[in-house]
Amino acid sequence: VHLLPFTSTPEELVEEARKALTSGPAPAKLLAVTGASNVTGEVPPLAALAEAAHEAGALILVDAAQLVPHRPIDMAALGIDYLAISGHKLYAPYGAGALIGSARQLEQSKPMLQGGGAIKLVTTSDVLWADAPERHEAGSPNTVGVVALGAACDALRDIGMNLVVEAEHALARQLWTGLDRITGIRQLRMWPEGSCDRVGVTTFTAAGYPDHLLANVLAAEYGIGVRNGCFCAHPLVMQLLGVEETEAHEIRAEVAGGDETRIPGAVRASLNLATPEQDVREFLAALERIMARGPSFAYRRIPLRNEYVPVNDTRGWPDMHVRLSPAPNREVEGEREIS
Ligand SMILES: Cc1ncc(COP(=O)(O)O)c(C=O)c1O
């Protein structure tokens, strides 16, 4: 596996992909790229990347988990050989997804998982695999998840992806420009503004606030849920935050030793079909207030973690059958605990 470097423009990414595809010791077989960054929302130049892959005799796989809820995708027009999508990012429940590829290619490829349903005949010395798609669907299928994923796709088609794009575009603009106007907020991007398409996601830092603290202030004081941390994209987030390699090594050693306090991170806000304009307005107003006046509660940091909890929040927990714990590792006798 050859990792493509971070680049400062989409064009440079295509150039780097071209180089990587042709400079290895053996001919490259597959170029795998993300369809839209789950950190910045930026969409790489997929058609140009597909062209680069094909020129080098390779195939292209696009991880469209983040792209497919936001954009119509014409695999043939873009030249995409394989597309991976995830149900739970497409308004369906967790646990189902799809790998879409041409019947010919899927027919020829060996199954990644082996088991019942994927075979025609098994002998003690041999296996005859079923035809595609069954050969790639070993084991008992997640039928409910797949039906729900199909229903979600139908619903999106009924709404019309062009309408989804249009609605998101207006809201995203409001979110991005609103954040740019708040002093101390810095939105993270790989590439210059306007150099690529971008789905309705933004990741940012706030001067004076560790990411988890800001996320917690938004949740505890405003009832706003954002995600914080490195978003399963640690190398990219560290790059965007300017964490040098030596510092990254130091942090790694500290985390391995049990001290997570220096794990860097940022805060992400994302839009989907269920986001009304009022949510964007309230989110921006909350951030503006936090940046101007600070939090209303006091917060304490959990030892050895880069996490914060309010200390003077007297509202208590909602009346539920299970007890929610305000801090990890708190013992509550006789009750089920969720932390
Ligand atoms: C680009 C991308 N690919 C894959 C995933 C993971 O998908 P899943 O939860 O279906 O494994 C995510 C999000 O978590 C993602 O952002």
pLDDT (tens digit, 9 = 90+) per residue, 111-142?
999 988 999 999 999 999 999 999 999 999 89
Is the CB–ligand 1 distance for residue 270 below 6 Å?
no
Task: Determine the pLDDT at residue 180.
Answer: 98
Greatest alpha-carbon span in the chain: 72
Residue 337 pLDDT > 80: no
Read off the tokens for 91.
């308004």
Read off the tokens for 219.
């949740």
Task: Determine the pLDDT at residue 264.
Answer: 95
Task: Determine the pLDDT at residue 328.
Answer: 56
Q: What is the arithmetic mean of pLDDT over 151-160? A: 96
Active site residue 232: yes
Task: Determine the pLDDT at residue 326.
Answer: 61
With cut-offs at 50, 70 and 90, classify the pLDDT of residue 64: very high
- C-alpha 25 to ligand 1 mean position (Å): 30
Residue 336 pLDDT > 80: no
Task: Give per-residue burial for 186-204: e unless 16+ CB within 10 Å, then b.
Answer: bbbbbbeeeebbbbbbbbb
Is the CB–ligand 1 distance for residue 38 below 6 Å?
yes
Q: What is the arithmetic mean of pLDDT over 278-304? A: 96
Q: What is the arithmetic mean of pLDDT over 267-296? A: 96
Q: How far is the C-alpha of 35 from the C-alpha of 21, rounded, in Å?
A: 19
Q: Do 114 and 138 form a contact (C-beta atoms < 8 A)?
A: yes
Task: Determine the pLDDT at residue 278.
Answer: 97
Q: Characterize the bridge pairing of strands 30-34 and 59-63.
A: parallel
What ligand 1 atom has the least distance to the C-alpha of 38?
16
> What is the 3 state secondary structure string of 120-189?
EEECCCCEEECCCCHHHCCCCCCHHHHHHHHHHHHHHHHHCHHHHHHHHHHHHHHHHHHHHCCCCEEECC
The model's pLDDT over 99-114, given as tens digits with 9 standing for 90+, comes to 999 888 899 889 999 9
Q: How far is the C-alpha of 243 from the C-alpha of 240, rounded, in Å?
A: 8
- C-alpha 33 to ligand 1 mean position (Å): 13
Is the CB–ligand 1 distance for residue 203 below 6 Å?
no
Nearest CA to ligand 1 atom 8: 86
Residue 89 pLDDT > 90: yes
Report which of 201, 268, 190, 226 is spatially closest to residue 33, judged by C-alpha positions.
190
Nearest CA to ligand 1 atom 12: 65
Report the 10 Å Cβ neighbour count for 146: 17
Average pLDDT of the residues of the chain: 93
Task: Determine the pLDDT at residue 319.
Answer: 77
